[in-house]
Structure 1
Amino acid sequence: MKHLTVYHPERPSLAIGILWRRLSLLSRCAVLLLLATPALAGQPVIYSWAESRSADERGHYPVALLKLALAKAGGTYEPKASRHDMSQSRTLRHVELGRDLDITWTLTTPEREQRLLPVRIPIDRGLLGWRLLLITPQDSDFFATLTAGQLKNLRSGQEQDWPDYQILRHNGFKITPATNYQGLFYMLKRGRIAYFPRALTEVLPEIHAQKNIDLAIAPRWVLYYPAPVYFFVNKQRPELAAAIEKGLLMAIDDGSMHQLFITHFGESINRMELHKREIIRLENPLLPAETPLDNAALWYDATRGF
C-alpha cells in the first residue's frame, strides 16, 4: 500500500525537511542560489550636476524632475550626482563619449542634438528663454527710461560657450564674451558690462548666492526667445531616453510635473510679474527644426502663469 505524506501545520519544520529531501541535487542548488542572490539593485545613472554643487538652487528642479520621471517610468534606474564639476563643453563631451556621465540637461542646438540623444520635452517649459536683466542697484532708474534700441546698444555679457551668446549676437545685442561664469558678476560690479541677462529660473538664486555683490533686476524689461532645455543622453542609450520620456509624459498627465514646477518657480514667476513687463521677442537661430513649438502644453504661458 502506498503511503501518503501528511502535512502537519503544527510541525512545519518536519514538512519542510521532507520536501527538501525529495528535491533533486540540481533543484537544491537552484534554491540555494536563489536564496543567496540579493534583490536587484537599481542601475546607477550619473547626471551632470556635481555633488559639490548640491547647495546651488539652480540644479534642484532638474534633479528633482529627473528623479520623478525615472520613478514614474517604473524602471530600475538610480540617478546619482557626478563626482566632478565640469564646464558645459566638457560635460557634453563626457556624455557623448559615455565617460563617467549618463545624463545632462542643457539648451538645445542642432549641433548638440547631432552629438547626443535629446528627450524633446522642455523640462522648464521654456523658462530659460525668459531673460531678466541683472544690473547694479544704482542703475534701476536708468533702465526704466531706456528704449528697446538703447538697451540693445548697451554692453552685456555671456559665457562664450553658451548658446545664449550666439542668440543675443544674432539679434543685434552688444555682448562681451567671458570664459568664467563667476567673472561675469565681477564684470557687472566693475562696470565692464551694463547688464547680465539671466533666466527667470536663475536670477533669484544667483542674487541670493552673490552675497558680496549688490545686484538688482532691471525694471520694465524682459527678453524672450524659444529656449528648450532637454535631458540629453548618449546616443547608445535609447532605452534610457525612452524611460525619461515615458516618465515625463506620465508626470505631465497626472499633474505632478506641474506641482513640482510651481513649487520651484511659482515665487519667482509671481515676483517678476512677466505679464506686466515689456517683452522684447528675439529669434533663436539655433532652434532645431524638430522643436515641438506647436505643442502649447509643453511651454510656459505668461498669461496663465504655467
Structure 2
Amino acid sequence: MLSLRHIAWLCVLLTACSQAAITIRYPLLATANDPQQQYMLGLLRLACTKAGENCKLQAARPMVQSRAILQLQRPDSSIDLLWTMTSKEREHQLQPVRIPLYKGLIGWRVALLGEGREQLLADVHNINDLRAYSAGQGHDWPDVNILRAAGLTVLTSSDYEPLFSMLNQQRFDYFPRAVIEVENEYQAHRNSGISIDPHILIHYPTAFYFFVAPGNKTLAGILESGLERAIADGSFDRLFRQFHAGALRRLQLNKRVVIRLDNPLLPAETPLQRKELWYSP
C-alpha cells in the first residue's frame, strides 16, 4: 500500500510528465529574410496553447521548399512540420492540417516590378492583357503551374533571392507575391529600385497549411484542435490582424483590377464551404 508521501511524489511525477514539452522542429527558409516566419511561429504557439500542450519550437537548418518536403517524408526526418501552399501532389505526399493559415490570402497576388517600371501594368484590364508580360517564380512553387495553366508566361529560379535581381535585369517583367508578404519583400529589396504595382490584383483559390509527416496523427491532432479553438474564441483572427491588417489597408486592394485564375491544383478536400476560414478583400 502506498504511503501519502509516495502518492504525493507520484502526483508530482505525473504532473511533470503531463507538462513535458513537445519538440516541434521546423525548417528555415533558405534565405536570410523569411517574411512568414514570425507569424507562423506565432500560430504554432497559439495552437499549442489552445490545445493545452507545452511545445518547444526548434529551428532546423535552412533548406529550399522542395527539399523540406522530401525531408519530411523520411523516417529519420530532421523536421516535424513545414508550412507551405497546398496542392494535390503535396497532400498526397504529406498530411495537411486543413486550416488556411493566411485565410486564403496566399492566393491574392500583387506584383513587384523592376526599377523604373512602376507603370508597366497600368493598362492591364484582363487576363489577355496580362499574357503580354512574363512572371517570375520559384521553380518548386505550385504557383508556377497555376499561372501557366492560365496561359501566362513564367520564368523560374531554383533559389529565392536571385528572383529579385532577375526582376531588375528584366529577365521577366513582374514578380507576383501574396499580399501578406509583398511589403516585407519590398522593404528588404527597396534599395535595388523595385516597386509595388498599384494597378492589378491576381486571384486564385488556394490555401497555406501546416503539413506534418504522413502518419503523424498526434501532431496533426494537436495543431488542428488548437487552431479550431483559436478560431472559435477569436484569438486566431486577432493574431491574423496583428500581422496583416496594416498591409491589407495600405495595398488598397479594393481599388485594383482583379484578374481571376482557376487553380487546377486545388484539392477537392479544401474547406471552401467554411466561410469563417477565408478572407475576401
Whether TM exceeds 0.5 here: the answer is yes
5+ residue gaps, structure 2: none
Alignment counterpart, residue 231 of structure 2, candidates 249, 252, 255: 252
One-letter amino acid of the structure 1 residue matched with residue 56 of structure 2: E
Asked if the contact 1:154/1:194 (under 8 Å) is kept, the reply is: yes
Using the TM superposition, give the Cα deviation of residue 80 of structure 1 relative to its aligned residue in structure 2, in angstroms: 2.2
User: 1:79 is matched with which residue?
Assistant: 57
Alignment counterpart, residue 151 of structure 2, candidates 169, 172, 180: 172
Task: Using structure 2 for the length normalisation, give the TM-score.
Answer: 0.91
User: 1:111 is matched with which residue?
Assistant: 89
User: 1:221 is matched with which residue?
Assistant: 200
Could you list the per-position Cα deviations for residues 83-107 of structure 1 after superposition, in whole angstroms to 9, with x for gaps in the alignment? x000101111111224111111111
Could you list the per-position Cα deviations for residues 153-183 of structure 1 after superposition, in whole angstroms to 9, with x for gaps in the alignment? 2111111111001110001111112111111
Asked if the contact 1:135/1:217 (under 8 Å) is kept, the reply is: yes
Residues 1:196 and 2:175 are matched in the alignment: yes
User: 1:286 is matched with which residue?
Assistant: 265
Counterpart mapping for 1:115-130 below 5 A: 115-130=93-108
Distance 1:187 1:241 in 2: 38
Asked if the contact 1:51/1:81 (under 8 Å) is kept, the reply is: no
Using the TM superposition, give the Cα deviation of residue 34 of structure 1 relative to its aligned residue in structure 2, in angstroms: 4.9
Using the TM superposition, give the Cα deviation of residue 242 of structure 1 relative to its aligned residue in structure 2, in angstroms: 0.9
Asked if the contact 2:29/2:64 (under 8 Å) is kept, the reply is: no
Alignment counterpart, residue 94 of structure 1, candidates 71, 79, 89: 71
Distance 1:52 1:87 in 2: 9
Alignment counterpart, residue 275 of structure 1, candidates 251, 254, 260: 254
Residues 1:135 and 2:103 are matched in the alignment: no
Asked if the contact 1:58/1:205 (under 8 Å) is kept, the reply is: no
5+ residue gaps, structure 1: 1-23
Residues 1:60 and 2:38 are matched in the alignment: yes
Query: Secondary structure at 2:198's aligned position in 1?
Result: coil
In proportion to residue count, which structure has more helix?
Answer: 1
Using the TM superposition, give the Cα deviation of residue 112 of structure 1 relative to its aligned residue in structure 2, in angstroms: 1.0
Using the TM superposition, give the Cα deviation of residue 57 of structure 1 relative to its aligned residue in structure 2, in angstroms: 3.0
User: 1:146 is matched with which residue?
Assistant: 124
Using the TM superposition, give the Cα deviation of residue 47 of structure 1 relative to its aligned residue in structure 2, in angstroms: 1.8
**Aligned length in residues:** 276
Residues 1:242 and 2:221 are matched in the alignment: yes
Distance 1:142 1:114 in 2: 39
Alignment counterpart, residue 296 of structure 1, candidates 261, 264, 275: 275
Distance 1:173 1:290 in 2: 27
Report which of the two structures shows the higher radius of gyration computed on alpha carbons. Answer: 1
Structure 1 residues 133 and 258: alpha-carbon distance in aligned structure 2, compared to 1, 3 A threshold: same
One-letter amino acid of the structure 2 residue matched with residue 281 of structure 1: R
Alignment counterpart, residue 231 of structure 1, candidates 189, 193, 210: 210
Distance 1:65 1:35 in 2: 32
Q: CA RMSD in A?
A: 2.3
Q: Identity over aligned residues, as a percent? A: 39
Could you list the per-position Cα deviations for residues 60-98 of structure 1 after superposition, in whole angstroms to 9, with x for gaps in the alignment? 11111111011110024322222x000101111111224
Alignment counterpart, residue 162 of structure 2, candidates 177, 183, 192: 183
